[in-house]
Amino acid sequence: DGGITQSPKYLFRKEGQNVTLSCEQNLNHDAMYWYRQDPGQGLRLIYYSQIVNDFQKGDIAEGYSVSREKKESFPLTVTSAQKNPTAFYLCASSTRDRGNYGYTFGSGTRLTVV
Amino acid sequence: KQEVTQIPAALSVPEGENLVLNCSFTDSAIYNLQWFRQDPGKGLTSLLLIQSSQREQTSGRLNASLDKSSGRSTLYIAASQPGDSATYLCAVSETSGSRLTFGEGTQLTVNP
């Protein structure tokens, strides 16, 4: 079955440490996204990529970095510059073709600073 | 900048009741609107997608309507069940494959 796989499900980060969240999709979707969700809030866009080797900043990109070397993969690195990284991170993908396609989300990674 | 608002923020109803969740958006130039469900600590599950040219979509006990000109969508849940308890999120996109703008969600509790 096609879908999006995020790993790990839970991640603990020490102060000053960089960590990378994995996101892989086998839907053949062109576009991929990273969102952050804080308790009681909606989703905020961190980065998105509409094509391989290209990505754009979202609303809250500071302290984060991404790469898109393969169509299937869009890893997110939370750097030490992100001062409040504890949150729930969701990866999504969508197609760029016109048609009745929506967005598919992964099951999320919960990051906690210890 | 597109803004999406969902009302109410929380809703508690007895089992069997029909209910309506509301979503409004400030820029009517949308490509599609999508309703999602999120269970605690989980990812988002797509419920219904309405293209901008459509007026409504139905799936089982769920019906979503779209009035693009007034910037509104409603999600109607018929004969609610305790298993419907979750947070419901509305999101709009401005072009195919573009970023989604989310509302903050409506937290629904259906009491047995």
Backbone angles phi, psi at A45, to 5 degrees: -80, 130
Strand partners for A24:
A5, A73
- Cα separation, B92 vs B72, in Å, equals 11
Q: CB-CB: which of A33, A97, A106 is closest to B96?
A: A97
Q: How far apart are CA A49 and CA A40, in angstroms?
A: 27
* Each residue's pLDDT tens digit, A17-50: 999 999 999 999 989 999 999 987 789 999 999 8
B49/A100 Cβ within 8 A: yes
pLDDT in tens, B59-92: 999 999 999 999 999 999 999 999 999 999 999 9
- pLDDT of B37 higher than 80: yes
- B32 chain-A contacts, CB cut-off 8 A: 102
pLDDT at A98 over 60: no
When pLDDT is cut at 50, 70 and 90, the band that residue A1 belongs to is low
The burial of A67, by beta-carbon neighbours within 10 Å (0-12 exposed, 13-18 middle, 19 or more buried), is given as: middle
Q: Are strands B56-59 and B62-67 parallel, antiparallel or unpaired?
A: antiparallel
> What is the β-pairing status of strands A10-13 and A109-113?
parallel
Determine the pLDDT at residue B6: 96
Chain A CB contacts of B88 below 8 Å? none
For residue A51, pLDDT over 80 is answered with yes
Please count the CA atoms within 13 angstroms of the CA of A105 that sit on its side-chain side.
26
Look at residue A83 and tell me whether its pLDDT is greater than 60: yes
Q: What is the pLDDT of residue A100?
A: 53
The whole-angstrom distance between B3's CA and the closest CA on chain A is: 12
To the nearest whole Å, the CA of B44 is away from the closest chain A CA by: 6
As a whole number, mean pLDDT of residues A69-95 equals 93
Which of B100, B104, B106, B107 is most worth mutating to test chain A (most A CB atoms within 10 A of its CB)? B100
Per-residue pLDDT tens digits for B19-34: 999 999 999 999 889 9
Provide, as residue numbers in chain B, all residues whose Cβ is less than 8 Å from the Cβ of A88.
Answer: 41
Quick one: how many helices (H) and strands (E) in chain B? Answer: 0, 11
CB distance A90–B99 less than 8 Å?
Answer: no
Are A104 and A94 spatial neighbours (Cβ–Cβ below 8 Å)?
yes
How much is the pLDDT for A96?
A: 64
pLDDT at B1: 86
Among candidates A100, A95, A103, which has minimal Cα distance to B52? Answer: A100
